[in-house]
């Protein structure tokens, strides 16, 4: 592969996952959200997590000072806490309302959010690499367009049902 060529990212990378509730929170900086994901990625099966600051900073392309600022931001938001053990910290993840499952109804509780039926789309696991590479993005775009269309319809209906809509 050469730079600029298209490729299939499916199962190619080690990932950082950020819960949607955290990703959607406007009060957290983007770097704090990435820091949360990097910490979560390093947690073991027992939840224990004690990466060095240098390791986390290198993972995220941050300076040590920036990393510490973002760790403190997460602590102030009550998403993590840590204990000092000799020359390292042990990090603990805290339950938070941002981590609850996203609601299936809108904020007024009147209308279900749009659901996209993906039953007719082929599963990525059943496609050959050539098919997925060539047509996977087209199938994804069809599902995305259907979701967006349903979302706009729901938003218009919500606006019509509210005063000053």
CA distance 163 to 71: 43
Q: Which fold has domain 20-99?
A: Arc Repressor Mutant, subunit A (1.10.10)
162 versus 41: the higher-pLDDT residue is 41
Q: Looking up tokens 């959010």, which residue turns up?
A: 113
Find all residues with CB under 8 Å of 128, minimum gap 6, and list them: none
Residues linked to residue 80 through DSSP beta bridges, in sequence order: 93
What pLDDT score does 151 carry?
59
Domain range annotation of the chain: 20-99, 103-165
Name the DSSP class of 110. Answer: S
Confidence of residue 134 (pLDDT cuts 50, 70, 90): very low
Q: What are 55's two structure tokens?
A: 């390791």
What pLDDT score does 47 carry?
87
CA distance 135 to 131: 6
Closest to 9 (Cα-Cα) out of 116, 142, 140:
140
Closest to 124 (Cα-Cα) out of 1, 3, 11:
11
Q: What count of Cα atoms within 13 Å lies in the side-chain half-sphere of residue 124? A: 10
What pLDDT score does 154 carry?
62
Share of the chain above pLDDT 70, in %: 61
What pLDDT score does 128 carry?
42
Q: Using one digit for the tens of pLDDT, what is the confidence trace for 95-117?
A: 999 988 655 555 555 545 455 45
């Amino acid at each position: 592969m050469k730079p600029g060529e298209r490729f299939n990212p499916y199962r190619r990378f080690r990932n950082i996952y950020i819960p949607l509730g955290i990703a959607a929170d406007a009060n957290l900086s983007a770097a704090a959200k990435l820091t949360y994901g990097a910490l979560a990625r390093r947690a073991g099966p027992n939840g224990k997590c004690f990466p060095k600051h240098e390791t986390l900073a290198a993972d995220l392309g941050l300076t040590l000072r920036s990393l510490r600022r973002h760790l403190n931001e997460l602590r102030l938001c009550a998403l993590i806490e840590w204990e000092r053990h000799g020359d390292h910290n042990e990090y603990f993840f805290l339950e938070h309302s941002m981590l609850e499952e996203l609601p299936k109804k809108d904020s007024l509780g009147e209308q279900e959010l749009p659901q996209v039926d993906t039953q007719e789309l082929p599963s990525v696991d059943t496609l050959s690499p050539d098919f997925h590479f060539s047509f996977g993005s087209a199938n994804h775009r069809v599902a995305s367009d259907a979701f967006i269309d349903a979302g706009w319809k729901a938003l218009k209906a919500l606006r019509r049902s509210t005063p000053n809509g």
